[in-house]
Amino acid sequence: MTIFSITLFGIHIAPSWYGLMYALGFFIGYWILKRRKILSDVELESLIFYVFIGVLIGGRLGYVLFYNLPFYLANPLEIIQTWHGGMSFHGGVIGVIIAMILFSQINRKPFLIIADHITSVLPIGLGLGRIGNYLNGELLGFANYTGPLAVIKNGVSYFPSPLLEATLEWVVLFMILFFLRQKNIFPGKIAASFLFWYGIFRFSVEFVRIPDVGLGYLTFGLTMGQILSIPMIIIGTILYFFFKKNAK
């Protein structure tokens, strides 16, 4: 759903709520990291650019590979047409990890410290993105919901699962990571905790969300989102104790 639509000098401009929330998330994350003074202004701007490219490429390729590969193999030009929609959070995570590794190597910065700072502000962008999904009427929950904040689409009332995700992935996850940053911090603690808790929250919310079109329920009645979240939970748990042991 677009916020407004206008054509100026032959250029059609129609920003979406989802795009606006993404941009706002990056701006707030940048502002918080700048106040922490973890990097110079030039380095921080470079890091944000790396992360942005990682989100864009990783999220898009993740969607192509995980959600609709046959279609994109038959229509390869559609891969670059991101304005048609289709981004995968799990693919975005992989893209961001690669981006942070590249930034750390090129600028000779400790990867785990960079990862901790980036993941500590990620919940803000995630929450805003889910609000964008809600405003766009996307990624909805079960039908015939009659409670508050329902989304009406094509005459059907849906459970507002994006708002539930926003609450868990933004408010709750941000508070968890904020609390963890105050106690017994060690390199990699926040990044590993982010993987674990996001995986838990995403896996849980998928039970009330409509499964992805064209995929439905897969192995053991799980959705693709749940299947992709399981490795996050396992890897996050392993990394947490590995980083903790090495820190000692």
| pLDDT of the chain, 248 residues: tens digit per residue | 555 555 555 554 555 667 788 889 899 999 999 999 999 999 999 999 999 999 999 999 999 998 888 888 888 888 887 666 678 889 999 999 999 999 999 999 999 999 999 999 999 999 998 998 898 888 899 999 989 999 999 889 999 999 999 999 999 999 999 999 888 789 999 999 999 999 999 999 999 999 887 788 898 899 999 999 999 999 999 999 999 998 86
Bridge partners of 157, per DSSP, are 152
Pairing of strands 156-158, 6-8: unpaired
Is the separation of the CB atoms in 58 and 92 below 8 Å?
yes
What is the Cα–Cα distance from 152 to 114, expressed in whole angstroms? 41
Determine the 3-state secondary structure of 18 from DSSP: helix
Give me the residue label for tokens 């003074």.
37
Instruction: Give residue-wise pLDDT tens across range 142-201.
Output: 999 989 999 999 889 999 999 999 999 999 999 999 999 888 789 999 999 999 999 999
* Per-residue tokens: 136: 């766009």
Give me the residue label for tokens 């999904």.
133
What is the Cα–Cα distance from 221 to 198, expressed in whole angstroms? 21
Locate the DSSP E strands across 57-159: 151-153, 156-158
Pairing of strands 151-153, 11-13: unpaired
Structural element, H or E, at residue 6: strand 6-8
Closest CA to 209 of 151, 148, 155: 151
Give me the residue label for tokens 């963890």.
180
pLDDT for the residue 86:
76
Tally of CB atoms within 10 A around 94: 16
Q: Maximum CA pair distance of the chain?
A: 62
pLDDT for the residue 189:
96
What is the Cα–Cα distance from 133 to 97, expressed in whole angstroms? 24
What is the Cα–Cα distance from 129 to 126, expressed in whole angstroms? 5
Q: Does the predicted model carry a pTM greater than 0.95?
A: no
What is the Cα–Cα distance from 37 to 40, expressed in whole angstroms? 7
pLDDT for the residue 184:
76
